[in-house]
Amino acid sequence: MIHNDTREARTEAVRALEAEFSELINRFRRVITENANRVSPGMLPGAYKVFTTIVRQESVTQSSLADLLTADKGQISRTVRELEHLGLISRTADPADGRSSLLSPTPLGLERLEAARKPQENTLLTALADWPVDDIHNLARLLHALTAGVTP
């Protein structure tokens, strides 16, 4: 009987965690949508993700970008053209492969991204302002274990 109580308690705890993750994901989606609109009015979250991935990589081929995002190469190609048209990224010849080009953020793109992120810059810091630092470290450790699929 203890086994069932333990299993039920675990199931209940996991369901509560799932509900909290759902709320966190919803909040994160709102932030991404707002940031995308601040970078360029009407920009979709998917284009924002492509753009921020290019920024993180600093210089990446379109094929590598599609692999990184596990996305359709045709959709990536359309999004890259849109970002290029907006002046957020530039395309230069890939010295390693003349048939390919490297995608990089432009100074305008970096400026727009920084301005878009500014309103949320301190959100997490503010939300955790009253938390003990050990609790913040513990949360980070536990989330890492969860995403890595290991037991903490």
Residues 71 and 20 reside in one and the same domain: yes
Residues 60 and 114 reside in one and the same domain: yes
Rg (CA), the chain: 20
Q: Is 130 helix (H, G, I), strand (E, B) or coil?
A: coil
pTM of the model as a whole: 0.78
Residues 116 and 126 reside in one and the same domain: no
pLDDT score recorded for residue 104: 97
Q: Among 119, 84, 89, which Cα is nearest to 104's? A: 89
CATH number at residue 48: 1.10.10.10
pLDDT score recorded for residue 1: 45
Residue 136 · residue 144 · CB < 8 Å? no
Query: Where in the sequence is the domain holding 130, given as residue range(s)?
Result: 122-152
Residues 110 and 132 reside in one and the same domain: no
The residue count of the chain comes to: 152
Q: How far is it, in rounded angstroms, from Cα 152 to Cα 57? A: 30
Residues 103 and 43 reside in one and the same domain: yes
Residues 88 and 145 reside in one and the same domain: no
Taking the chain (152 residues) in runs of 10, the rounded mean pLDDT of each run is 74 94 93 95 96 96 94 94 97 88 97 93 88 96 92 91
pLDDT score recorded for residue 4: 64
What's the structural domain count of the chain?
2
pLDDT score recorded for residue 136: 94
Angle between helices 107-117 and 2-39 (to 10 degrees): 130
Residues 127 and 116 reside in one and the same domain: no
Helical H segments across 40-132, by residue range: 45-57, 62-68, 73-85, 107-117, 123-127
How many other C-beta atoms lie within 10 A of the C-beta of residue 37?
15
Residues 35 and 7 reside in one and the same domain: yes
pLDDT score recorded for residue 5: 72
pLDDT score recorded for residue 99: 85
